[in-house]
């Protein structure tokens, strides 16, 4: 499994009321030659898509954010016409690859329960030059 680890930038989105993450370079996730997800530069993500009610239980560890960026991209762009369940399973696999321990199963369950409303509901957003930290 090839997992990118680029320098990430953040900014606080006043409208959404949350911190968003992005990379200035492309992020290619090659999952055992089976699935290739390529996230373009400047794609905005909330990182790990942990529902608000579960955020007090799980931190958004910066070393895990790549899994969340790929997951958000799959939810918004639907590469390879992925189903929501396939995107969530990919998220679980990526969290394991990034070293998320036992809590990845709980995070996965929280996303399965709480993220349905985000499936195809939000348009992709990209950072602009005024988003640099």
pLDDT, tens digit, 9 for 90 and up, residues 4-34: 988 889 888 888 777 888 999 999 998 877 7
- Does 25 or 81 have the greater pLDDT score? 25
Full-model pTM: 0.83
Total number of domains constituting the chain = 1
Residue 2: inside a domain = no
Residue 47: inside a domain = yes
Write the Ramachandran bin of 66: left for phi over 0, alpha for psi from -120 to 50, otherwise beta: alpha
Q: Which domain holds residue 68?
A: 8-131
Contact 96/35 with Cβ under 8 angstroms? no
d(CA 112, CA 14): 26
Residue 119: inside a domain = yes
């Amino acid at each position: 499994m090839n997992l990118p680890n680029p320098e990430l930038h953040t900014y606080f989105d006043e409208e959404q009321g949350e911190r968003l993450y992005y990379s200035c370079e492309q992020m290619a996730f090659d999952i055992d030659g089976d699935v290739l997800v390529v996230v373009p530069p400047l794609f905005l993500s909330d990182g790990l898509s942990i529902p608000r009610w579960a955020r007090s239980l799980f931190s958004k560890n910066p070393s895990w954010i790549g899994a969340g960026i790929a997951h958000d991209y799959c939810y918004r762009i639907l590469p390879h016409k992925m189903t929501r369940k396939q995107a969530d399973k990919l998220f679980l696999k990526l969290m394991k690859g990034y070293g998320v321990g036992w809590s990845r199963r709980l995070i996965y369950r929280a996303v399965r329960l709480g993220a349905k409303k985000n499936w195809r509901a939000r348009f992709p957003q990209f950072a602009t030059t005024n988003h640099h930290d």
